[in-house]
A and B are shown apart, each in its own frame.
Chain A
Amino acid sequence: MNNLESSNLLRPTLASFSFSLIQKLVKVLTNTASIGAYFEPIIQLFSPYWKISKISAEITNVRHESTNIYTLILKPSSKWQTFKAGQFVQLSAEIKGSLITRTFSISSEPEYFKTSGKIELTIRSQDNGLLTPWLRTSVQAGHTVYLSQASGNFTLKNQQKKKLFIAAGSGITAIRPILKQYKNEAWLKDAQLLFYVKNRTECLFLEDMNALKSCGLNYKYIYSEESGRICQQHLDDFCDDLSNREVYLCGPPKMIETTNILLKDNLVPESNIFFEYFGPPPIQPTNFSLGDDENFIQVDYLSSKKQVSFKADSPPITLLDMAENEGLKPVSGCRTGVCHQCICKKKQGRVFNIKTKQYSDSGSEEIQLCLSVPISHVELEL
């Protein structure tokens, strides 16, 4: 018994030891992080879209849902595993040579992927966005983009309890796959969906909802231009047993916040509320102001598991100074943006560059800490 245990223990150590030895040798011989990183540019000479660390996906079709909402139909390469209904992926595309990454919920159901090998992403084109308008106007069938594996916890928790889904705008993208995947299950007969859209022209997925109605789904579109945003009245009119239901919320941060408060007032236990945030649209560079729901700006240092928050109207301070005030020691150099030593990966959030006077995207990218002032919730790999 003892022998068996020790040999089992030994095997992984030996394997990981030889693996780290190979990694070291690769670093010594190639000065790159991995053998793949060394060969990537050689393979790209023949196949320009190939990337070692990314899963490529071919856009097979673009379906326009309304004036500024469209659906990309993608065929991921075989490296892409499957997903659970309600999860999201990171989509990256090269725009003018620069790799831009954004997160989108998968709006189709796993069953569809199983039969066709394809997934759908339904996207609203943001007026000041970088990636979303580009995908709408510049991408044609056959174009290659990149995907991450799917992740996210916004999935169906159990099949017993009655359910209420509340979606706003493109928030429906995370809920549609859940409804479609389980359309033949018993719980759907008691399920309700409250869906906020701007007006009649933006009735996303109306056909799907009609089809689901025949399976028992009770749904209602609310036009926020006519009836306003979510309120007690809307809930009372639509649902009379709120406190007995599991509630799934998906939409912009502001909507999640208000709905959460409403639900608590209606005695829905917190353990029955599940939600997914959809980030705020990009800030306009011309008349920059902090969004009204951002009185506090928070910076998360992911690697050192620290965070700071401060009042949005306090004097601006660079991320480098801020990190050092927190006792962190990021590598830095000239502190004037010349030496590129303090470059750090920003996972998300927007920063203002004090040298170029430009606002960054909200997605993941490399930034110079000594030049960057946070203007929204920022996550740093530091």
Chain B
Amino acid sequence: MQNNSKPNKDTLDQFAEELDQIRSEAMSKVGEKDARYIRRLIGIQRCSEIAGRIIMVLGFISPALWILGIILLALAKILDNMEIGHNIMHGQYDWMNDPNINSRNFEWDIACDGSSWKRYHNHEHHTYTNVIGKDRDFGYGILRLSDDLPWAPRNRFQFFNYLGLSTLFEWGVAYHEVAAERIFTGKRRATSNLPITRRELRNAFYNKAGRQIFKDYIFFPLICWPVALQVLVGNLIANLIRNFWTSTIIFCGHFTEDVHTFQPSYIESETQGQWYYRQILGSSNITGKKWFHILTGHLSCQIEHHLYPDVPAPHYREMSIKVQSVSLLRFRLRY
């Protein structure tokens, strides 16, 4: 649904002040508990990965072990990509001064190069959320999710496109910036803000993709030689489970029925209050239990994540209650 209306400026300014207040309240609570939480979670994630890879090999004893191994490996990948990698690379834990747990050095277990993702996701998607033509995350240039986009014959196969995109989700994420910069095909962009050379971008893409393929489909199968196929297929399934899970969570956070979209003119000389307001309209939350929030990387609180991308995610649920009451009071906006 397209949005053209804006509340008046005073209301928005007041709203911005209230949301800033919620932010500083949360930030004052950030501390040792968050540091212990993220370290423990990384520890559990790595145990799960190691256990998953070992138990998968024991699958020749019983298929149940093989399945258990796959589930543990998929769990490790989901935790790594969502609650750990996504949030660390947003800079949510930079205050810890930890050489490994910070947005500059962390690299995740997915085909997408972390630096490339930080460029287009943290900046493009989080600044221009749901602005048609500016936020390529809206439908990824493949899906038509709003009447604002012209219908094309290929949209008839939208459902199959969607299935394909979900199956290959990590590759879509990896290819995102490479596609936007027309590195391999298409006409080169007239203007580009790419801070590295096109060659560096291409090499980074090949490098990370190659490493992930080598690890899951060559190295680990080969060192378990007699059961190579079992390991290879197991790794493939674990990666697919992760792809379906992450794409589903992200689609539910941004491409729901009442999510608003915006024209580029809407965001000209945008104030902090307008930006906050647009972030609330451009995202949706999902409810669930604590374990569910962790598995989604707290993207279940997509609205709070978009309002405060660098506040440690475990604080989102508490912030959500406050944000909801403020937006209900100011705009009769319920979510």
Contact string, B7-18, partner A, CB cutoff 8 A, digits 1/0?
Answer: 000000000000
Most B-side CB within 10 Å, residue of A27, A99, A366 = A366
Contact string, A155-199, partner B, CB cutoff 8 A, digits 1/0?
Answer: 000000000000000000000000000000000000000000000
Interface size range on A against B: 35 or more
Residue from the list A37, A41, A338, A344 in contact with B122, Cβ < 8 A: A338
Residues of chain A in range 36-54 having any CB-CB distance to chain B below 8 Å: 37-42, 44-45, 48, 53
Residues of chain B in range 94-108 having any CB-CB distance to chain A below 8 Å: 94-100, 102-105, 107-108
Name the residue of chain A whose CB is nearest to the CB of B47: A42
Residue pair B104, A333 in contact (C-beta under 8 Å): no
Residue pair A100, B97 in contact (C-beta under 8 Å): yes
Q: How far is the CA of A361 from the CA of B35 in the complex (A)?
A: 20
Q: Does A98 contact B (CB under 8 A)?
A: yes
Residue pair B95, A41 in contact (C-beta under 8 Å): no
Residue pair B43, A41 in contact (C-beta under 8 Å): yes
Residue from the list A41, A45, A97, A366 in contact with B33, Cβ < 8 A: A97
Nearest Cβ in chain A — how far from B264, in angstroms? 17
Contact string, B253-296, partner A, CB cutoff 8 A, digits 1/0?
Answer: 00000000000000000000000000000000000000000000
Residue pair A334, B127 in contact (C-beta under 8 Å): yes
Nearest Cβ in chain A — how far from B37, in angstroms? 9
Q: Does A328 contact B (CB under 8 A)?
A: no
Residues of A contacting B127 with CB < 8 Å?
334, 336, 338
Residue from the list A33, A98, A333, A340 in contact with B100, Cβ < 8 A: A33
Residues of chain A in range 73-129 having any CB-CB distance to chain B below 8 Å: 94, 96-101
Nearest Cβ in chain B — how far from A266, in angstroms? 45
Residues of A contacting B214 with CB < 8 Å?
28
Q: How far is the CA of A41 from the CA of B35 in the complex (A)?
A: 11
Residue pair A340, B195 in contact (C-beta under 8 Å): no
Nearest Cβ in chain B — how far from A351, in angstroms? 14
Q: How far is the CA of A99 from the CA of B95 in the complex (A)?
A: 8
Contact A339 to B44, CB < 8 A, known contacts A29-B215, A334-B127? no
Q: Does A31 contact B (CB under 8 A)?
A: yes
Residues of A contacting B105 with CB < 8 Å?
33
Residue pair B34, A97 in contact (C-beta under 8 Å): yes
Main secondary structure of the interface of B (DSSP, over half): helix
Residue from the list B31, B44, B104, B310 in contact with A97, Cβ < 8 A: B31
Q: Does B91 contact A (CB under 8 A)?
A: yes
Residue pair A40, B100 in contact (C-beta under 8 Å): yes
Most A-side CB within 10 Å, residue of B100, B127, B309 = B100
Residues of chain B in range 19-61 having any CB-CB distance to chain A below 8 Å: 30-36, 39-40, 42-44, 46-47
Q: Does A66 contact B (CB under 8 A)?
A: no
Residue pair A32, B122 in contact (C-beta under 8 Å): no
Q: How far is the CA of A33 from the CA of B101 in the complex (A)?
A: 12
Residue from the list A28, A38, A94, A341 in contact with B118, Cβ < 8 A: A341
Residue pair B35, A366 in contact (C-beta under 8 Å): no
Residue pair A42, B102 in contact (C-beta under 8 Å): no
Which residues of A come within 8 Å of B, CB atoms? 27-29, 31-33, 37-42, 44-45, 48, 53, 94, 96-101, 331-334, 336, 338-341, 343-344, 364-366
The contact sample of 24 A-B pairs, CB cut-off 8 A, is A31-B109, A32-B100, A41-B40, A41-B46, A48-B39, A53-B99, A94-B32, A94-B35, A97-B34, A97-B35, A97-B36, A97-B96, A98-B31, A98-B35, A98-B96, A333-B118, A338-B126, A339-B119, A339-B123, A340-B118, A343-B94, A343-B103, A343-B104, A365-B97
Report, nearest first, the 7 A-B pairs whose CB atoms are least far apart.
Answer: A97-B35, A96-B31, A41-B43, A340-B91, A41-B42, A339-B122, A97-B32
Which residues of B come within 8 Å of A, CB atoms? 30-36, 39-40, 42-44, 46-47, 89-91, 94-100, 102-105, 107-109, 115, 118-119, 122-123, 126-127, 195-196, 211, 214-215, 219, 309-310
